[in-house]
Structure 1
Amino acid sequence: MANLDIKVREAKLADLELILTFISQKSEFDGVPHLLAATTDKLNETLFVESPLVRVLLAEVAGKAVGFAMFYASYSSLLAQPCLWLDDLFVQSHFRGLGIGTALLKSLAQIAESTNCGRIEWTVNTRNSPGIAFYQKQGARILENIRVCRIDGEAISLLAGQ
């Protein structure tokens, strides 16, 4: 499958089921299918509204979507610039190593450049050695001195004073 004709496009409302399928496949890959709470209704409320909270790029080969990138705007006070947060990057297993992930990241970098973003950031599981190697090959630095902090579910309610 050398020299694939990879097309990257922004997702449309008609892609809702496909996006949910990719999110489900990624949750399986990450080993957390039990955490999957996304539904097409929930996705529709955030993706395809007047001011979407998140955007999705789809990578297609021969007209068939084989991967996606989900991202949203963030901000760096240190840079005083907008940034992009890549929430998910996923390519179906039999299409990995063929340039599809690179095409998705390249499209994301073009969006970042066109909107004067100071950086693109994301997390990667420390056990995902192939993913880490892939990201480093794309020029990413893995920041070992920063840890993700998370408050979710009931902890949000407790902290909010509920």
Structure 2
Amino acid sequence: MANLDIKIREAELADLELILAFISEKSEFDGVPHLLEATADKLKQTLLFVESPLVRVLLAEVGDTAVGFAMFYASYSSLLAQPCLWLDDLFLQSHFRGMGVGTALLKSLARIAESTNCGRMEWTVNTGNVPGIAFYQKQGARILENIRLCRIDGDAINLLAGQ
């Protein structure tokens, strides 16, 4: 592992285009660039730049260059009767993987979870992302095979809502 000068910081309004670029890179990595609907305007309405942000973003920098991000928000567990931290996206540029940057991001998230009394941190990982799964397991994550992600979106939401 390289000895890098890694800095993790909360994103600011000036980082909006950078965040959008990372989201675009992640959609390419995930093989779903056709699903990308995020725009700078949409992000500005929902991210940390509004009075009650829906989501927060941490940026990972090596030297003075941003190389990855983590997007997360609060969730809740009725079983634990505690808040939880949901990690929506974690992405690093490929040439910075395996160098401790992802670990630094997860540690920062764990500190946030600890300081806000979260009972757990959760996220999804693509079943085909073997290196990602190995990385998360190395950090102490359990991969839950008995739980499936359920999703209703777009027209299906309208149909279910009775539209």
TM range (shorter): over 0.9
Distance in 2, matches of 1:43 and 1:52, equals 10
State the identity as a percent: 87
SS of the equivalent of 1:151 reads coil
Residue type matched to 1:52 in 2?
P
Structure 1: gaps (5+ residues): none
Distance in 1, matches of 2:143 and 2:37, equals 29
Q: How large is the RMSD of aligned CA atoms in angstroms?
A: 0.7
After TM superposition, the runs of 4+ consecutive aligned structure 1 residues lying more than 6 A away are none
The Cα shift of 1:2 comes to 2.0
Counterparts of 1:70-149 in structure 2, within 5 Å, are 70-149=71-150
The Cα shift of 1:113 comes to 0.1
- State TM-score, norm by structure 2: 0.98
Structure 2: gaps (5+ residues): none
Distance in 2, matches of 1:37 and 1:25, equals 13
Tell me how many residue pairs correspond in the alignment. 162
Distance in 2, matches of 1:144 and 1:151, equals 21
- State TM-score, norm by structure 1: 0.99
Provide Cα deviations, 1:38-71, integer angstroms capped at 9, x if missing partner.
0000000001100100000000001110000000
Distance in 2, matches of 1:152 and 1:85, equals 19
Distance in 2, matches of 1:106 and 1:32, equals 28
Distance in 2, matches of 1:93 and 1:30, equals 13
